[in-house]
Structure 1
Amino acid sequence: MRTTMRSAMPGTAAVLALTAAALAAAVLTPTHAGAAGPPRLRGCGPGELCLWEKAEFKGQRHTYELAGTDIESCVALPEGDSAAALANRTGRPVTTYQSAECDETAEFNTYPGNGTWAPESPYRVRAFKIWER
């Protein structure tokens, strides 16, 4: 006995295509609180690296610009401070470190420039490096 499923599930290919497109958009497009695009980050402008004390871009914020930061140098947050969220709008890759000394035996991640939003880091960020392109 042969059964054809086409009539039983009309539009299955279209639904799968829409689901794949939605999944790709969710992975490739940063969202925040259900927004359609990047979150609005008060006070974190183009050319800046912003680090927030708490997840979801909340709490005390530290802001750094290329003009005041040595490229490829370890920059520690002020003693006792750490960050749980970040936005990299520097136009350059930024590596964040769990260690205040940028020690690579602890956790670290690199975020591309020109608009990377990370509402929750997988570890407490205590230092960073801004890289050449």
Structure 2
Amino acid sequence: MRTNMPATATLAAALAAVILTPTATAAAAPPTLRDCGPGELCLWEKAGFEGDRKTYELADIDIESCIALPAGSGAEALVNRTGRPVTTYQSAECAETGEFDTYPGGGTWVPDSPYRVRAFKVWES
């Protein structure tokens, strides 16, 4: 029986390349804790915790009030370390006619929000 060595070598090289090459679609690692400290809500401009970050301190937030992000801005990733539930809104007026979600405050990491966040509310409990 005769084997085709060049074809076998080509197949082996192709398999090695697939197995040994890291994929470009690997998930982004979450930011380290120092990037968003206890008592903070951190919002990143772009998904994957990329771009400009805005940080809101629990001590400076009016609880249960709608807090709009600066006009023309928004966030696509967030970390909630406030210790309280936070609702993010697609609407800059916290209107429930658009998309909104509530995230627990014990350390929620959202690398890719399902919508552009334009406002939020921090709840008492």
TM-score of the alignment, normalized to the shorter chain, above 0.5: yes
The count of corresponding residues between Structure 1 and Structure 2 is 99
Residue of structure 1 aligned with 2:118, choices 112, 116, 126: 126
Unpaired segments ≥5 residues, structure 1: 1-31
Q: Whose radius of gyration is greater, 1 or 2?
A: 2
Provide the C-alpha distance between the structure 2 equivalents of 1:58 and 1:128, rounded to a whole number of angstroms: 19
What RMSD in Å do the two structures reach over aligned CA positions? 1.4
- What are the residue-to-residue correspondences of 1:14-25 with 2, within 5 Å? none
1:92 counterpart residue number = 84
Q: Write the deviation string for residues 72-124 of structure 1: whole angstroms up to 9, x where unpaired.
A: 00000011100000000000000000000000000000000010000000000
How many angstroms does 1:42 deviate by? 4.8
Report the secondary structure of 1:90's partner residue: coil
What's the counterpart of residue 50 of structure 2? 58
How far does the alpha carbon of each residue in 1:2-56 deviate from its partner, in whole angstroms, 9 at most, with x for none?
A: xxxxxxxxxxxxxxxxxxxxxxxxxxxxxx53x5xx5415531111000000000
What TM-score comes out, normalization by structure 1 length? 0.71
Partners of 2:47 and 2:123 lie apart in 1 by: 24
For 1:41 and 1:54, the matched residues in 2 are separated by 18
State the percentage of identical aligned residues: 77
Name the structure 2 match of 1:79: 71
The alignment partner of 1:67 has SS state of: helix
Please say if 1:69 is aligned against 2:61. Answer: yes
Q: TM-score, normalised by structure 2?
A: 0.75
Query: Matched residues in 2 for 1:54 and 1:43: separation?
Result: 15
Runs of 4+ in 1 over 3 A off after TM superposition: none
**CA–CA separation in structure 1 for the residues paired with 2:34 and 2:46:** 15
